[in-house]
Amino acid sequence: MPLTHLSEDEQLFRDTVRRFAKEQIAPLVRGMDEAACLDKALLRQLFELGLMGIEIPEEYGGQGGNFFQCVLAIEELSAVDPAVGVVADVQNTIVNNAIIRWGTDAQKSRYLTRLAADTVGAYALSEAGSGSDAFALSTTARDAGDHFELNGRKLWISNAMEAGLFVLFANANPAAGYKGITAFLVERGFGGFQVGKKEDKLGIRASSTCELILDSCRVPKENVLGEVGKGYKIAIETLNEGRIAIGSQMVGLAQGALDHAVKYAKQRKQFGQPISMFQAVQFDLARMATELEAARLLVYNSARLRDAGLPFVKEAAMAKYFASEAAEKIASKSIEIHGGVGVTKDYPVEKLWRDSKIGRIYEGTSNIQLMTIAKKLLG
């Protein structure tokens, strides 16, 4: 059975998200991109449809679904707007996932119910000097008795403008290096916490990316996620899973770019016939479709492995690496098939190309993925 085969329930779920994306998101894409802002009514709809709490257990108001459903949802959202896809990605595969796996019963009751209903989550690991070298972070957490006091700055934090809850990493024992890193659940309203500058980005513009400022931010001890000094484990494992979701975002983006290219090639006429009749265009489309299918197989395989409780780190890195590279090439080729109109904002493919560039960078660059794959191969 091919890896792209879906069960009846999975097909129904995918088709529901696809219909929502085409009917509700598509008319808003250009406006959100130009305004660099997510439509608030659309965000409410994402919650109402349960797309912000797919894996959250039903007892906390979520859908009680699985990781593969998250992948399907992100793919379908991203085929229309990858910026919306990444909003759901961060929420489901990183923030919700981290609390489901490492949260206490009290934390789950307090936060999963909110994340399923109306609260956006963000994941705050990166800093100015801490990107690919994720554990070089300088944000500190000082034990102050009944609470921790956090000081530092975070950069490039997705969903930050809308988020009400942040899974935030700080070092509670800098002398211990990465073994001092601790994960905290930081609410937006905590004293000493501030969302700072919003980045003006090339792509996925409707998805906010901001700095966070922690100036003696007071975080209760009961808001430590997992154990003090074990935050590095949470970071590694959530990012491994998040990379599969970025792969699905890139697969959706590539599918959207291919669909637009096929449609335009059938409509555009040159030398008395549609350009789809020219073998050169046909070969371009065939290569695009082949790379897309290969990327989808890699993503689905890693997601199925994750849900089955089997090792998936190498496969996740392969999926993220290949899908992000393929998406950029497919989006670029789609622009070429559109010709001159492809670089105008009257057609959607220039946006998909802009959106594709981040895929090779965030949640682990392509070089980091290659290092991970090589490490697994070499033992």
Residues catalogued as catalytic = 363
Residue type, 356: S
Give bridge partners of residue 183 from the DSSP assignment: 169, 225
Token pair 């956090």: residue: 150
Residue 77: strand, helix, or coil: helix
Q: How far apart are CA 302 and CA 316, in angstroms?
A: 5
Contacts of 191 (CB under 8 A, 6+ apart): 216, 217, 218
Contacts (Cβ under 8 Å, ≥6 apart) of 77: 17, 21, 25, 51, 84, 85, 88, 252
Q: Which residues, 6+ apart, have CB-to-CB distance to 378 below 8 Å?
A: none
**What would the two tokens of residue 99 be?**
């609390």
What residue type is assigned to position 379 of the chain? G
- What is the distance of C-alpha 320 from the center of its chain? 11
Q: Locate 217 and state its tokens.
A: 């931010």
The rounded distance, in Å, linking the Cα atoms of 50 and 56 is 10
Residue 14 CB burial class (10 angstroms; 0-12, 13-18, ≥19): middle
